[in-house]
A and B are shown apart, each in its own frame.
Chain A
Amino acid sequence: MKLLYFAWVRTRTGIAEETVSPPAGVNTVSALIGWLCARGPGYAAAFADLKAVRVAVNQEHAGFDVAIKPGDEIAFFPPVTGGRDDKGSAAGF
């Protein structure tokens, strides 16, 4: 399966994308995250606070309990960022 990482999730894993073949028992997003975290401290840091991480499976928003299979494209990223009109971000809209 193809994994994609965006924004600070990417900076913590240290890579933008990779292709992995986890064991057969890794068949949900949650199980995949557990498997990834065991691979190194960068992954553990990226997934330390799951409330701050969003998931897409095959380019559709998904929950952590969603089933995954070989060939899927799974992306991890923070909530998308806006900004208030009065202060917020530099995106002025």
Chain B
Amino acid sequence: MIKVQQQDFDLAAEIAELTRGRTDIGGVVSFTGLVRDVSDGAKVAAMTLEHYPGMTEKQLAAIERDACARWPLSASLIIHRYGRLMPGEQIMAVVTASAHRQAAFEAAEFLVDWLKTKAPFWKLESDGAAESWVEARDSDDTAAGRWEKG
């Protein structure tokens, strides 16, 4: 399931919803990304996430299908927020459920790596006075590259 939204989310409620009535799930892995108050050593007062409505949902659904094809997942959820966020706020979450823990752990890491590098979100950081767009980083591509099929 894909949720792209401006409002905050309650992870416990999301997991409860995802697993309600299910007795085939042996484990649930979740990862939550937060806004940090430091970027490249500089103070961050706020961050604004911009995205491409329509394309974002399509791309997230495609990577979720990819994860489900690679690992035997019983259920999955990707939540990604957009708009203005303050340090400490939740940005995104990935939840994966499977009969066994390994698939859930690996699929969650795969999805987070992908979200970090390939999802169409752009970040405008503010230090309270000036704003600047965050540039793409090679190190993230390296993290996502671990999952490319050789």
Which A residues lie at the B interface, using CB under 8 A? Answer: 4, 6-8, 56, 59, 75, 77-84, 87-93
Contact = CB atoms under 8 A, between A and B. Distances in A.
A91 B55 contact: no
B136 A91 contact: no
A93 B112 contact: yes
Given A75-B55, A90-B87, A93-B112, A84 B37 contact: no
A89 B52 contact: no
A1 to B, nearest CB: 16
A92 B36 contact: yes
B140 A82 contact: yes
B86 to A, nearest CB: 10
B147 to A, nearest CB: 14
If over half of B's interface residues share one DSSP class (helix, strand or loop), that class is named, otherwise mixed; here it is mixed
- List 5 A-B pairs, minimum CB-CB distance, nearest first: A93-B33, A82-B140, A7-B122, A92-B36, A79-B136
Contacts of A82: 116-117, 136-137, 140
B55 A56 contact: yes
Interface in B6-47: 31-41, 44, 47
B134 to A, nearest CB: 4
